[in-house]
Amino acid sequence: MKLLLSRSDHKEISWLDRKTIDLFRQMAATLGGTKDVVEVVLVRDAFIRKINREHRGVDRATDVISFSYLEDDHPCGENIAGEIYVSYETVQKEAKRQAVNPKHLFLRVGVHGLFHVLGYTHETNERAREMEAEERRILGTHLDAETLDALF
């Protein structure tokens, strides 16, 4: 899987560096072929709140929302596997609240979004455990055990 990363507002995100983006791309590449592209868009809370309200009926900001096009083609092309919207503002706030590095939390919510694109859900306890185990597996190949435990 190949990531196409963009920002909705061109704001500089001080904690999001090239190394973190490259690490996220490496994690995504382990999940599938190179033909499927996932668009990752970094947005503000207001934008993700609007998406959350329109698509899930929940009127609040969240850290990540994903859309999968594996079964139905994206209107812009066949190679688009999905879209992931990440609120960098929520990631920053949650990282502070959880006392973790926002880079690491970004990676966790990004990987979470990737698994949603692939069809994973957490609608039941069993499916949530499966999804979390896969997220830990992917993140664990790049993060140390202490960091991984802090994120979950």
Beta strand spans in 53-147 (E) = 64-68, 80-87
Q: Are 107 and 150 in contact (CB under 8 A)?
A: no
Query: pLDDT at position 79, please?
Result: 78
Fold classification of 2-151 is Collagenase (Catalytic Domain) (3.40.390)
Helix/strand/coil for 35: coil
pLDDT by residue (tens digit) across 39-66?
999 999 999 999 999 999 999 999 999 9
Q: What is the pLDDT of residue 2?
A: 85
Bridge-based pairing state of the strands 64-68 and 80-87: antiparallel
Mean pLDDT on 59-77: 85
Q: How high is the pLDDT of residue 76?
A: 67
**Dist. CA 88–CA 106, nearest whole Å:** 8
DSSP class of residue 99 equals T
- The whole-angstrom separation of Cα 66 and Cα 146 is 27
Q: pLDDT tens digits, residue range 89-112?
A: 999 999 999 999 999 999 999 999
pLDDT greater than 90 at residue 20 = yes
